[in-house]
Structure 1
Amino acid sequence: MPLAPAAADGTDDALAAVLGRTRVELLLLLAEEHTTSDLARRLTVSDATVSAHTTALRGSGLIATVRA
């Protein structure tokens, strides 16, 4: 099956369809270092929600985390 051509401005939407909007926003924020609490505040979600998302992203090899 051929891949659909990528839309010039649809990359975030395509990723959101696969990963979910919160995880895409989280990945975009992680271009810089942030604490879990800072990410939660910026995304307007709980620390536990950020932790669950980062666990999934770390498990898939998309991010690496360090403890301060």
Structure 2
Amino acid sequence: MIPDYTFRFIALDVETACSDAGSICQIGLACVWPDNRIHTFSTLVNPGTAFDAFNIRLHGIGPDHVRNAP
């Protein structure tokens, strides 16, 4: 669950299944508190599209990992 706090900043990162920018298969957040503590959050996402072998090699996430993900 994403915390409900005031942070200095939040960094967002996504991984994609293929070269299509809309094929997100993982979302990650790094939430940085004013004292520099960091809270991380990530979730897999089923992009509903085919995975390219290049992307699977790059991040290690494949269709089997996201089969039951939202």
Same fold (TM over 0.5): no
Judging by fraction of residues, say which structure has more strand. 2
User: Larger RCO: Structure 1 or Structure 2 (Cα < 8 Å, ≥ 6 residues apart)?
Assistant: 2
Q: TM-score, normalised by structure 1?
A: 0.32
| Structure with the greater alpha carbon radius of gyration | 2
Q: TM-score, normalised by structure 2?
A: 0.32
Judging by fraction of residues, say which structure has more helix. 1
